[in-house]
Amino acid sequence: MVVTKNSLMTEEERIWNWLEGVPDPEIPAVSVVDLGMVRKVCVVDSAVEIEVSPTYSGCPATEVIEQSILTKLRSEGIESVTIKRILSPPWTTDWITDVGRKKLSVYGIAPPVGAASKWQLLQTTVVQCPRCAEFQTTLVSEFGSTACKASYKCEECLEPFEYFKCI
């Protein structure tokens, strides 16, 4: 028998790796794992249960994400898959991985600054431009293309960009 890195992985590890390839439908540069939406992978015999937390309870992409996860796992030969939607505790931007934050920035979206807190709304957030890395930026609109993003403009390079708000 030839032992490879792949054969040493547990089934859960293999599934986590596959899920890293499932993009967020609104921000395809990051995966559902990068965003911290996949909370748990559980394998019992040949059945798989995936716990998923939507970015917010009214997220219009939730069903698309769940279907994308099912499609990916079935394409890898796993037929018995259950998706369990977890609303408590609610998803937070604190769950975005470091890799996810870097991918957001490369994609042109400023990642969340600091940790999510109830006091965040009362504070002015200094956001770094993902294009030129300057901090001289101005809030243009509290809401961007989605409710979880705000629109900003960089005063240095003059480019508009979105900021993924702390939630």
- pLDDT, one tens digit per residue, over 65-118 is 999 999 999 999 999 999 999 999 999 999 999 999 999 999 999 999 876 655
What mean pLDDT do residues 137-156 have? 91
Instruction: Kindly report, residue by residue over 1-47, the tens digit of the pLDDT.
Output: 333 455 567 999 999 999 999 999 999 999 999 999 999 999 988 89
Residue 57, sorted as left (phi over 0), alpha (psi -120 to 50) or beta, turns out to be alpha
Q: Is the pLDDT of residue 120 over 70?
A: no
Residues 6+ away with beta carbon under 8 Å from 11 = 43
pTM for this predicted structure = 0.85
pLDDT value at 62 more than 50:
yes
pLDDT (mean) for 113-135: 77
What domains does the chain contain, in order, with CATH numbers? 5-91 (3.30.300.130), 106-164 (no CATH)
What is the pLDDT, as a whole number, of residue 74?
96
The whole-number pLDDT of residue 117 equals: 54
Q: Report the residue count for the chain.
A: 167
Q: Phi then psi for 99, rounded to 5 degrees?
A: -65, -45
The residue type at 81: V
Which 8-state DSSP code applies to residue 23?
Answer: B
Classify residue 31 by its DSSP letter: B
- Residue-level pLDDT at 121: 53
pLDDT at 57: 79
